Structure 1
Amino acid sequence: MELTENNDFFETVFNSAANGIAVIKSLFNDKGEIEDFSILLFNTYTKKWIGDIEYKNKRFSAVFPTIKKNGILERFIEAAQTGVTANFESWYDGEGIQLWFRFTAVKQDELLIVTTEDITERKKAEITLNNALTAAEKQKRLYDSITSTTPDLVYVFDLSYKFTYANKALLTMWGKSAEDAIGKGLRENGYEEWHAAMHEREIDEVVASKKSIRGTVSFPHAELGKRIYDYIFAPVLNEKGEVEAIAGTTRDITEIKLAEEHQFLSRKKIEESEARLKSMIDQTPSPTLVLMGDNLVIEQINKHMLTLIGRDEEIIGMPLIEVLPELKGQYVWTQVQNVYNKGISFDQSEVLVQHNRTGIIVDYYYNLAYRPLVEDGKITGMIQVAVDVTQQVVARKKMEESETRFRALVNASSDMVYSMNADWTIMRTMEGSRFLSDVEEPTINWFDKYIHPDDKQIVLNHIKESIANKSVFELEYRVLNADGSLGWTFSRAIPILDHENNIIEWFGAASDITSQKEVEQIIKESEEKFRLLADLVPQIIWTGQPDGFVDYYNKRWYEYTGFEENEFGDTSWTPFLHPDDVDLVLGYWYQSVQKGTAYQIELRLKNGDTGEFRWFLSKAVPIKDGSGVIVKWFGTCTDIHEQKTITEKLEVLVENRTKELKRSNEDLQQFAHVASHDLKEPVRKIKTFTSRLEDHLDGKLDESASRFIERIHVATDRMYNMIDGVLAYSKINADLQKPTLVDLNKVIKNIEIDLEIILQKTGGKIHYHDLPTIEGALVLLYQLFYNLINNSIKFAKNETPPEIKLSSKIVTQEDKSLAVITVEDNGIGFESAQAERIFETFTRLNSKDSYEGTGLGLSLCKKIAERHGGNIVAEGNTKGAAFIITLPLKQNENDI
């Protein structure tokens, strides 16, 4: 099973992560902007941190309310909007706690993955360390200030008797600058031979005995003349207890020696000097303690040390071991005794000391410096300086624990995780790596042992290139497994660089891709079978990559074009397109590739031998995986030249016939106009002579004769109307009109005015409101609704005033907006079986003697609706008739 398919494994990794992980989804406001996130999932670490609350589908800011104030929510929103990973640190204050986190927000599709790392301890450790460094710098400045302002001469010799330090008082005595004096010996700084030789012997003695010596000497001062000095040489020991330098202090005791009467003044000066020393210790920023005597009694202690051990000044004068009895038996107490008893200086970092500071014994870590105090060559006490580094040590240990967890996670991987030295000659694998599992110890000959002989050179070339360019190494190659079998691996290694950009190590991972390679081989064999089959087909067959780049043609393509084999892509087929087809074909093709839709177009391709262009039908379909992603294009080109040629001939023939038909229609239109005029003339004469006959026989006609003459009048009127109807019906398709915006409310209002007399006569009413505005021909739409409303009045029931109601609604069909207008009445209606027949020309459902009309009105309505790209249907029963007209809101054509 692939690692990525193992849900249980990933759930375990997700919940065992040392940091908090949250999966959240964007929430949008009514403006489409992200304003917050909905919580989908927390890992175990986060759930423990927030406590036992129901968090799913809650707002992120509701569970963590302070993220709005400190800008965290704003950073998450920015990552979700831009897709750029956010990586930042921020304080988080909430419910009496203040923690520092590192947040990483990564957008994944519609989700945001937020990783939270608690770096509070590390931050506090950094702050403490920075404060300690600042204090140390301050302490150094204080020491420099003390040594520079003291009247005593302070200096340091190296083992070759050269000065490595001289304070301001000594330089003043010599009358030299530090640049002129430091690094030079006694004689170079003006000491007489006897004086220099004496001090060199004393330095040798201090080095040999590792004990201080004290003496008195007289030598000239650059400004004060001959003076008497008391001096002490003390050894400076390294961590091995070896003398690495000699520190000296010299005090001017001229006045003491020259005049005993000044003894009181000298004692006072000594006391003042001791007071200054005490003041210096009190002002030292580091915790400092002075112990004196065999019992190591606390003689001086500054406030920082008192805070460090959790005591008050009442402990001055008490033995240290009585103040801190828990030190007995600990490593630190042994070192205290060694400094006092053996004069061995002690300097060590991160020393574990268990002591009672706040009422209970706790582990603390200190950077300690102990120095013996020597008087007259005898150790009389010691000075201690301690810096609390507990927070830094605890933070580092936590980082080490985190690294251990990281190693455990790496070891849980099925891949082999390894490291190489800078030149790839030595391999080390992480414990538990499965792949090539016998490589548990550093392997020097790994290259010869595991790389397949046929792949060694290419692997070696890639290694050399990566080393030379300091670039990532990535390669698939064959390996010899631990059990002797042959396999494939994909290896990726990253160079680790030092501050000078030199490679110090390589870190990488190797995946077993043997199964993948076997599948690729099966696919390759399948492709070969496909190609053999494709070469037998008379059509041109091709395949393309997801971006549309053609990567295969069958044999038919090369036979037709004469093109060189194995040349693919757009450059292999566009030169063979007809120049008039290039832009159209490329436009269709690139649109299909972009949208992932099927492609079909007719195009002309040039024959490589004859230069003739032939018509082809080109088709292509995208092949998609289970998730809908295109993985391949498959296409064909079929020769349709013969069919296309016949079609073109037919199109020419149809065009000629259309022209003839148009000419015939125009002649017919002219004939209809003339015929209607000529037919009207005899009808008018019949009506005229009938009227004259009626006048001539006025009073002489009986009832039957009058009824016959009346029928002649009715027949001639009907004939006259029928001739007008035929002319209007024939002209409805001949007169093209430009579409305009037509407000149907205004159209019905005008019809209502035109039919005002007949409406008043019959007591009829037209009801309508909020009818739509559509594009159309105003004259035709007026005629459409006039005929329908006039019909409703004409076919009203006896003794029943006509009620005509118009209503409308807007619908969408096939992405097209349509207006559906219904005209209903309370007339005589018709049988539903006659709903289609009433739109036929000259069709009448009722007696022509009972109802006037030509039978052309509804046929005309149907033609008008169809001219507008719509339709009309009828519904009827004994309660009335209803006509439903469907018309588009917008016209696609320029003429109607």
Structure 2
Amino acid sequence: MQSDERFRALVTATSDVVYRMSADWSVMHQLQGGGFLLDTGEPMSDWMEKYIHPQDQERVKAAIAEAIRTKSMYQLEHQVLKADGTQGWTFSRAVPIIDDNGKIIEWFGAANDVTARKHTENELHEAKDAAEQQNRLYETITSSTPDLVYVFDLDYRFTYANRALLNMWGKTWENAIGRNLLENGYEPWHAEMHEREIDYVVANRKPIRGEVSFPHATLGRRIYDYIFTPVINEHGEVEAVAGTTRDITEIRAAENTLAESEARFRTMAEGMNVYIAMSDETSNAIYFNQTWSKLTGRPTNELLAYGWSNLLHPDDRERHLKVYRTAFETQTPVHDSYRVLTKNGNYRWLLIDGSVRRYSDGSFAGYISAGVDITELKEDEQRKNDFISMVSHELKTPLTSALSYVQVSKKRTTENNDRLTAGMLDRTEKQLGKMTRMINGFLNVSRLESGKLQIDPQRFDMARLVKEVEEESLVSVTSHKVVFAPVEETWVNADQEKISHVIQNFISNAVKYSRPNSVINVACVTIDNHVQVSVSDEGIGINEEDLPRLFERYYRVKDTETRNIAGFGIGLYLCCEIIKRHRGNIWAESVVGKGSTFYFTLPVVK
């Protein structure tokens, strides 16, 4: 008994809790809680609910059952309900007291408060889980990038390397991490260079960037761009150096190819007697070859951006800039001519063709243009126009006189009832009328190109003008049925005589190119604050490839059906220029074999 008492005293001295249980653990006889659990000096059967946390009661019961079955020590770490009502943890042991017959009489137990340790373990476990989760996140990020990501300690050893870097080395984590640059296959000069850079980053706490050639395990020598960045701790000290490296071999190769291509382009551009220029996507000029400088006497840097536009002839500048800007808005080719001031103080004509440039992804990059000197052609053309103007003017007087003689003779033959002669004179009058219209056309073209064709705008009602044209057509057009749709009162500010000329030209062409007795429809409607006039026929139609060129000077459709129809290709050209000068649009639509429709529009005024 004395030894039992000593044992109990020892247990009490070394444990936070001492307790006694019945043989089947149904009754707790005594518990000294030591301030950790509530004491009890009386037997109690509901000790499980009072002391054991609900989450662990089944575990405790299972451990007790196993200890009773095996008559061995009970021991378990579990949650308890502390004396202050909070949750705690204990490590409990109980030994069976067995009589001489091998029967368990009771259990004597002791338990220690391990709450603080369990909290520490839980915190460590949570911290470990968080660290592992963050490590998995970083590993996922760094392993999915082709860039090389790594970390050095202050002794130049690798403490981290992502999968891409390990693959480049041809190594595993185990035989690469913890080793320095030389040990991981860096050449001595390369290792020494990076060590100096690491020292710089540590000393200055600033990143450093460089470029280096390095052998890849499978791809051979590659070019890399790298950045070393300081890793600074909470005390403001550099505790490591992080690095990222990107393979830029293809980029450098593309740059070299581009540089070679640009060098070839410049060699070609500078060696040609052609005016080469380039612009970017914002419409600013970014390149002029030396041919431009030789012509203008200006260095190329003065021509860049919009400096070149200051050398355009005052009569050409605004017109060409409008063409130029419109091309950029629509990203379509440029075709134009203008005069440029030369170093000698005179002007030369250039014909410019600009092609759209695009980046490798297909996006708009600007234009590249080529120009040729057409001054001599322009001078020849002017001399031709002057000659045509002079001849046309000289022919006009005798032609007018001849027409007057025919009209007088026709009147007399009619009075004398000489029908044969009257018919011949009638046909002569028509032919002279055609010649008069052709000569007037040449004169108008000549005046147009010399800037002498005047537009005299005035406010008038299009309904009245169309009515006048209708009345004239009833007399002049007898071979076709010309149908005029009703026109509402529509006011425009334009040259009435010249707009009338355009409508009559449309009708005249419809008569020429459609079979006799077919219908010609004339309409005038208002659409979006613009009056739209259209003339439709049931004629032979126009091929699609000819439509864009119909309004060019001297252009005529060449096919078997039109070769015997008289004309010089100046009527539609003149109509186009008249409408353009009124800020209108002109175009044609056609289906071969079914007919054509010619349109023009003018702004409506109130």
TM-score by length of 1: 0.37
Select the structure with the greater relative contact order (CA < 8 A; seq sep ≥ 6).
Answer: 2
User: Larger Rg: 1 or 2?
Assistant: 1
